[in-house]
Amino acid sequence: MKVKLLLTISLLLVFTFGCQNKEVEIKYKSPRIFCTDIEYYSNENPNIMNYCTLEPANAVLILDGKLTTDVGEHTVGYTISDGEHNNFTVGTLSYKVIKYIPPCPENATYNEETEKCECNSGYVSIHNVCELKVTCGAGYQYNASTNTCDLIPKSNTGTSTNNGGNTGNTNTGGNSNKSHGTKDFMFTDGYNIDSAYNACVLQGSQYGSYSCTPLRDSEGFYIGYRLQW
């Protein structure tokens, strides 16, 4: 009877401590990391926890260095602590950096050489919108800032007459075809095609005879008016 009692106690102790050891083994297992594909654009500030989870939840992840923004495939080492029992796991993660391509507006294509969105052929950029370029007919000039056709003004308009009845560049007193001075009203000074002409006529009206002549650049585009008196 005594022997049976001792045997029963021994079996009970073995079973009890054996189960406790098994529970300790599960509780104190090494921490782990689980990640999806780590991919991000080169202009982003990456956060590894956007792609990975840790087990247990209170584990602490330490990377060997910062994730790079250089385009290509890379690796980074890591160490995980369970934050409680000083169990550590070390390993390496792979990740990929993709070149950032900005979204382009409608009718535009991204140019990798210039790294800019450029309007497709036949379109022009007006306020960051690619619009179909207007084709101008005879007597009109293309305005790139508004994508419209503006009427080409006639030259030598605004000629006044002196007291003697002569027309053209004739000064008061009967002297003809003698220029006393000039003044330019340029679009680069804030004038447009209408305000430059009006300013020229307004100031020219102070003289006995004057003319307002449109000016062009080397490519034939109008750039302002010239007053002669």
Please name each of the domains of the chain with its CATH number.
31-100 (2.60.40.10), 154-228 (no CATH)
Report the mean per-residue pLDDT for the chain.
77
Place of tokens 């009203």: 185
Task: Output the CA angle 186-202-139, nearest 5 degrees.
Answer: 55
pLDDT in tens, 145-173: 787 888 887 654 444 333 333 333 333 33
Query: With a threshold of 0.85, does the pTM exceed it?
Result: no
pLDDT at 5: 47
Averaged pLDDT, 193-210:
81
pLDDT in tens, 52-88: 999 988 899 999 999 999 999 999 999 998 877 678 8
Cβ-contact 185, 191 below 8 angstroms? yes
